[in-house]
Structure formats: structure tokens, C-alpha cells
Amino acid sequence: MGNLATIEVKAFVPARDFELSKQFYQDLGFDMAWSSDALAYFCHGDSAFLLQNAYVKEHADNFMMHLLVEDVEAWWQHVQAQGIAAKYGMKIDPPEDRSWGLRDFAFIDPTGVLWRIGADIPAKTE
């Protein structure tokens, strides 16, 4: 069998208002590496996605992204410091421990995409 090694996988995240979404993701902490009329490439560390200048309500309403981070509290503080909730008119609850082994917080971006930013909960030692 040949070389089946992968390099990366990227989601194509929809944008109802492309310019607003580009600003949102920059405010959130992603770097916009490049942008064209159709796509924008966002990255932060080893994580990346493509923001597409396209919107289908049924697709966006069922689209979810999960960002696994080392320090969810630091991300939470960054989101608070940037005033993301007030600037974009959204509700963002503080991080909570989840039954699936993550501590995370969730929000819906300006297009309707659900994002969860979270960190693994360390295993308890007894």
C-alpha cells in the first residue's frame, strides 16, 4: 500500500456576511493568512479553517466547529477582553465541565455556526 500519511484537514466554514465574519474570526484570535473574494484562510497555531463567502441557511444552522486548546480559561479571558459577546450581539456562557471529558464554552458565530472551545479535563487520580 502507498503512503497514506495525511497533512491536515480543514473545514469550509460558511459566511452569511463575509466581511463581518472575517472580522469576527480575527477578533476571536485567528490570523487571516490570506483572503480572496471567495475564501479566507484562518489559522492559529496548528489549527486552521477556510471561511467561504457562501451561505446556505440549512447548512450553516447545522454546522459545528470544535477547537481543542491547552488552556480554555485563557481563551475565555481573551473572548471577554475582546468584548466579543457585546460587539457581535451574542450570548457566551463561561466554561463548564462536560460529561464527555472536556471543559468548554460555546457560542454561535454571526452566520449561525456553533463553536465549542475547550480543553481536556485531566483524569482524576485517586
Domain map (residue ranges) of the chain: 12-120
CA distances from 61 to 16, 42, 114 (A): 11, 21, 8
Average pLDDT on 94-114 reads 96
User: In sequence order, which residues have a C-beta less than 8 Å from that of residue 106 and are 6 or more positions away?
Assistant: 92, 93, 114, 115, 116, 117
Average pLDDT on 110-125 reads 90
Give the cell for residue 11.
473545514
Res. 116 pLDDT band, cuts 50 70 90: very high
Summarize pLDDT for 61-96 with one digit per residue, the tens: 899 999 999 999 999 999 999 999 999 999 999 999
Q: Under CATH, domain 12-120 is a member of which superfamily?
A: 2,3-Dihydroxybiphenyl 1,2-Dioxygenase, domain 1 (3.10.180.10)
Summarize pLDDT for 15-40 with one digit per residue, the tens: 999 999 999 999 999 999 999 999 99
* Side chain identity at residue 105, one-letter code: F
Give the cell for residue 60.
450553516
3-state secondary structure 15-74: CCCHHHHHHHHHHHCCEEEEECCCEEEEEECCEEEEEECCCCHHHHCCCEEEEECCCHHH
Distance CA 108, CA 126 (A): 38
